[in-house]
Amino acid sequence: DARVTQTPRHKVTEMGQEVTMRCQPILGHNTVFWYRQTMMQGLELLAYFRNRAPLDDSGMPKDRFSAEMPDATLATLKIQPSEPRDSAVYFCASGPRDRGRRTEAFFGQGTRLTVV
Amino acid sequence: LAKITQPISMDSYEGQEVNITCSHNNIATNDYITWYQQFPSQGPRFIIQGYKTKVTNEVASLFIPADRKSSTLSLPRVSLSDTAVYYCLVEDSGYSTLTFGKGTMLLVSP
């Protein structure tokens, strides 16, 4: 049963520390999304990759957030330095999305980040 | 992007049929309507997608009128485990991102 795998599932860190979240998309999926979810803002798109190339990261605070896909099996989201307002659940999703195909996106279980 | 309006919350009882209506007045010709479900502490999960008329799968039905300015997700005979947030999305193409609104919190009671 193919699934999107995110690590770690939970992370508690102190303000100012670097945080790296990892995602293993489903094999063969060419599109990867990073979302952040909070009670106040709901699900916000942070970054979006197609064939490992970043297509849209306009939702991501550039001064402290960075997203990369070093290879097709790994996507990373890094926060440096972290702040308490970054506390949220971060979801990764992947999908086999091509022009003309509106296929479903598969979400991971999320990384719950708490910055104290 | 199409503006999405859906109820913030709905209540139901086990065994009832639940219909959640979503308004998307400025939907474009190439747009599809997609619904996702999210349980607490989990990522959203695809439920159903449609373009017009009616689509049915093992989980739900999706009704889309001819003008496509609204759509209704129908959940037959809900159970307690259907308690979740339901998101209505409008997708314009395979290259589009998924834009989530606030969703509808469905609470199913015994």
Interface check A62 vs B, CB under 8 A:
no
| pLDDT the model gives residue B95 | 57
- pLDDT over 70 (residue A34): yes
Taking CB atoms and an 8 Å limit, are B94 and A103 in contact across chains?
yes
Low-confidence ranges of chain B (pLDDT < 70): 1, 93-96
Mean pLDDT of A61-76: 94
Nearest to B2 by CA among B66, B93, B106: B93
b/e sequence B17-48, b meaning 16+ C-beta within 10 Å: ebebbbebeebeeebbbbbbbbeeeebbbbbb
User: Chain B closest CA to A78's CA: distance in Å?
Assistant: 20
Instruction: Choose the closest CB to A99 out of B32, B49, B94.
Output: B94
